[in-house]
Each structure stands twice: as C-alpha cells, then as structure tokens.
C-alpha cells in the first residue's frame, strides 16, 4: 500500500460516516418513528409514577391505622384487600392521552399502569368495618381491632 492510498481512505470513511449520520438523523426524525418515540416516552414517564409507595401501619389503642402516599391517584383506581394480617393496596390506572393528527398519521394512546404493595398489620382487624379517606394523594385507612 502506498502513501497516497493511506491519505485517501480516511476521507472516504468520513464521507461514508457523514452519509450514515444523515440517514440515521432522517430515520429518527421521520414522522412515524418520531411519533413512536414520543409515545414510548409518554409510557415510560407514566409508568414511572409509582417507583415506590410509602405504606406504613400503626397500632393504636382500639384500631390499626394505615397511611400511604399515592400521588395522582383517584379512589376508584385503588383496590384494598385484607387477608389475615396482610393489607395489600393495588392501583390500576388508565390514562387516556389526547388525540393528535400530524399529516396522514393519527395518534391516540392509552396508558395502563399497575402497582401493588403489601404491609403486615400489627394486629388482627375487622376489615369489614374499614374506613378510607383519600386527600391530596394521602390515603388513610382505619380498621378496628378484633
């Protein structure tokens, strides 16, 4: 290989990389792919809403009190189950995103998320007499002891 060929090869590779870079940019900025990536980001952000649920149980004189912090949750999305001395909170959310039309593409998406957490209760309770209260993302559950 002579010195002239060594000098020409880097410029050829540079041109190839430039074309490849342009092709990749075009691919990720084209309407169908951009739309898919936007929806994917919305799903990831929405599902990250419950990375951790603070759930604590306290034993009072006549009752057990459970507190949970549940941001952006409505009472109809919460299922509370007491089995023995274990209380389980399950949250199923359905979020309808706005519809959007960009050129010939129409998008409407719905995000579903599910999260559950259990806590061991300090004593046995009468779950049929449970009282629940949800305000500003704070859920309070009161249950009389058996």
To the nearest 10°, report the CA torsion of 42, 77, 100, 39: 20
Task: Provide DSSP, 84-143.
Answer: TTEEEEEEEEEEEPPPEEETTEEE--EEEEEEEEEEE-SS-B-GGG-EEEEETTEEEEEE
Q: What is the pLDDT along the chain (146 residues), one digit of tens a residue?
A: 555 544 444 444 445 556 777 777 777 666 676 777 777 776 666 555 555 678 899 999 999 999 998 877 889 989 999 999 999 999 887 777 667 777 777 777 777 778 888 899 999 999 999 999 999 889 999 999 98
Provide, for the chain, the percentages of residues in helix, strand and coil under a 3-state DSSP scheme, each rounded to the nearest 5: 35, 40, 25
CA quadruple 81, 82, 88, 89: dihedral sign: positive
In contact, 35 and 102? CB cutoff 8 Å: yes
pTM, two decimals, is 0.58
């Amino acid at each position: 290989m002579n010195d002239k060929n060594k000098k020409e090869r880097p410029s050829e590779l540079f041109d190839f990389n430039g074309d490849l870079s342009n092709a990749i940019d075009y691919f990720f900025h084209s309407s169908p792919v951009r739309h898919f990536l936007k929806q994917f980001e919305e799903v990831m952000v929405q599902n990250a809403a419950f990375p951790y649920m603070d759930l604590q149980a306290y034993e009072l004189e006549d009752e057990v009190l459970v507190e949970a912090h549940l941001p952006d949750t409505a009472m109809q999305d919460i299922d509370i189950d007491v089995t023995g001395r274990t209380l389980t909170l399950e949250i199923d959310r359905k979020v309808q995103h706005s519809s959007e039309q960009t050129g010939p593409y129409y998008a409407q998406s719905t995000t579903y998320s599910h999260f559950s957490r259990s806590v061991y209760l300090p004593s046995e309770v009468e779950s049929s007499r449970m009282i629940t209260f949800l305000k500003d993302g704070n859920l309070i559950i009161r249950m009389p002891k058996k």
